Chain A
Amino acid sequence: MIIDKLSYNSKLRYENAEVKFAFAVITLLICVISRFTVTAIIVLAVTGILTIKSGIPVFRYLKFLSIPLAFLFLSTIAIIFDFKPFYITINKNNIFYALNLILTSLSAVSCLYFLAFTTTIMDILSVLKKLKCPKIILELMLLIYRFIFILLDTAYAISIAQNARLGNINYKTSLKSFGILGSSLMLKAIKRSQNVYISMQARCYDDTINILSSKKAKPKAKHIIMITLFDGFLLIFSIWSKFFL
């Protein structure tokens, strides 16, 4: 999984996860609540620069941004056009509204990308744990995360084995192979989960997954001040824009 690899190689990986989480979430909230185009542009630019500076190639970052962008364009078409009984019109206000919506959504996504590309899933889980997120959700996230990779590996191995025996020689066999892959993956997943449960029992598992993360970096005062200043400015600017623009 490319996002996982990028987060492990990020220059910001070892920075305090709580600070990164707070920055991403607070900025996202300000951006979404204010719904102001200029705020969205500022957030998009700042989170984009930070993510790219952390070691993500520009082209790859833009490629990742283009995925939600495609969805946003498609879903805002309905807003831009006014469908009347015998004609279709384009309203100037609607265009601005759609643009605002696209930019706001995109900047919210860029905040999440910043978090995903610079923070490993373990760090995100440890932050959620500190925020008293229900244990069952954290345990599920942990197991799903681990199983995604195991199932991807298994699916890859099965697909290689199918290809080696001309399992994808034409459309019909490809469909058949895909069906077999799906069903065998399901069986393997069940078997694997049973084995994992046995191995957990062997280590005194008692219905609660107790784990300890390695000690993390302490938050730097410099980063906290910068984030407070930035988000403070963003908040004031958004409030000002609501009342004075």
Chain B
Amino acid sequence: MNTILRCENLYFSYDENDNYALNNVNLSIKKGQKIALMGANGSGKSTFFLCCAGILKPCKGNLFFHNEKIKYDKKSLLNLRSKIGIVFQEPDNQLFCASVYEEISFGVLNLGFSEEETRLKVDNIIKTLNIQSFCEKPTHALSGGQKKQVAIADILVMSPEIIIFDEPASSLDPKHIKIVREIIDKLTNQGLTVIMSTHDVDYAYEWADEIILFSDGEVIMQSKPIDIFTNDYVLNKTNLEKPTVIRLYESISNNNTSYPKNLKELETYIKARLK
């Protein structure tokens, strides 16, 4: 797989001194991968996302998109932002239009599409995400889950190559978490590169191809979920716990090599042992 996003020795500071929010970050993300970014609150995940979209300019280091160094002139930034979409954690910070339809059309029109093309794209995304029932509503009258769906539609309609979700399940009820996850699954099945920050270890373990652990602005580990969640040192350092599947498996099995990937596999293992 080709590397779609790479950063080398990336530093970023909000107050322009040596207090770095991102401190020598080195990582690479391959096209079509499902990446979970994990770490304690304030570890630099959201700052990293803003750097990826060129909203924050690193103090030092370089970011590469498709192996091309990101430039910070207006044209290059608009081009970059059309390829990397961010669904922000708080939908109220993202939705600023009076109605859902207007909100979704905003990004597409900024890409330079004509009115007719925009209408087609907006109607299409409304159908795909099944949000017809509230597409005529004002954004302030939506529930938290509906706002999140609209925030996702905002980005998807721009057809980005990478979509970043900043804690997509935060403050959502189980029904809307399920809806959002189904949307994410659809995207990953289409081969889109999805980067997501989350604190849900169970979901990250089952969903991600790779997990990147952030701690105090540094990447302390980038590896497969099983390597991350069986490493007690990094879990302690990032305030994370082992996923339920791993904890259960370790409590009933002496063989700590072939871990089940999800509850279904664990169930099969338990049934086989009971026979």
Contacts and interface: CB of A to CB of B under 8 A. Distances in A.
Contacts of A89: none
B81 A204 contact: yes
Interface string A124-162: 010000000000000000110110011001000000000
Interface of B: 50, 53, 55, 74, 78, 81-82, 85-86, 88, 90, 92-99, 101-103, 105-107, 109-111, 115, 118-119, 122, 135-141, 154-155, 158
18 contacts: A4-B138, A8-B137, A145-B98, A146-B97, A146-B140, A192-B92, A192-B93, A195-B88, A199-B88, A199-B93, A203-B85, A203-B110, A203-B154, A206-B110, A210-B105, A210-B109, A212-B109, A214-B99
Given A122-B138, A195-B90, A199-B88, A204 B105 contact: no
Given A203-B85, A210-B106, 6 more contacts: A125-B98, A204-B158, A209-B106, A210-B110, A211-B106, A212-B115
A201 B97 contact: no
A116 B12 CA distance: 48
B105 A212 contact: yes
Instruction: Give the interface SS of chain A, mostly helix, strand, loop or mixed.
Output: helix
Contacts of B106: 200, 203, 209-211
Contacts of A122: 98-99, 102, 138
B107 A203 contact: yes
Contacts of A200: 96, 106
A67 interface: no
Interface of A: 4, 8, 120-122, 125, 142-143, 145-146, 149-150, 153, 192, 195-196, 198-206, 209-215
Identify the interface centre among A143, A199, A202: most chain B CB within 10 Å of its CB: A202
Contact of B78 (A145, A196, A204, A215): A204
A212 B118 contact: yes
A141 to B, nearest CB: 9
B158 A203 contact: yes
B109 A8 contact: no
Contacts of B99: 120, 122, 213-214
Contacts of B78: 204, 206
Instruction: Give the interface SS of chain B, mostly helix, strand, loop or mixed.
Output: helix
B163 to A, nearest CB: 11
Contacts of A201: 53, 55, 81
A212 B123 CA distance: 12
Contacts of A214: 99, 101-102, 135-136
B82 A204 contact: yes
A204 B111 contact: yes
A175 B17 CA distance: 40
B86 to A, nearest CB: 5
A212 B119 contact: yes
Contacts of A121: 98, 138
B93 A196 contact: yes
Nearest to B86: A202
Contact of A120 (B115, B138, B155): B138
A199 B99 CA distance: 17
B102 A211 contact: yes
A202 B135 CA distance: 22
A210 B112 CA distance: 10
Identify the interface centre among B88, B94, B98, B107: most chain A CB within 10 Å of its CB: B98
Identify the interface centre among B94, B102, B122, B136: most chain A CB within 10 Å of its CB: B102
Contact of A196 (B85, B96, B102, B141): B96
A150 B147 CA distance: 13
B85 A202 contact: yes
Contacts of B98: 120-122, 125, 142, 145-146
Given A210-B109, A214-B136, A198 B50 contact: yes
A22 B86 CA distance: 41
Contacts of B103: 211
Identify the interface centre among A145, A150, A196, A210: most chain B CB within 10 Å of its CB: A210
A198 B135 CA distance: 24
Contacts of A145: 98
Contacts of B140: 146, 149-150, 153
A87 B134 CA distance: 65
Nearest to B97: A211
Nearest to B139: A146
Contacts of B86: 199, 202
A132 B108 CA distance: 23
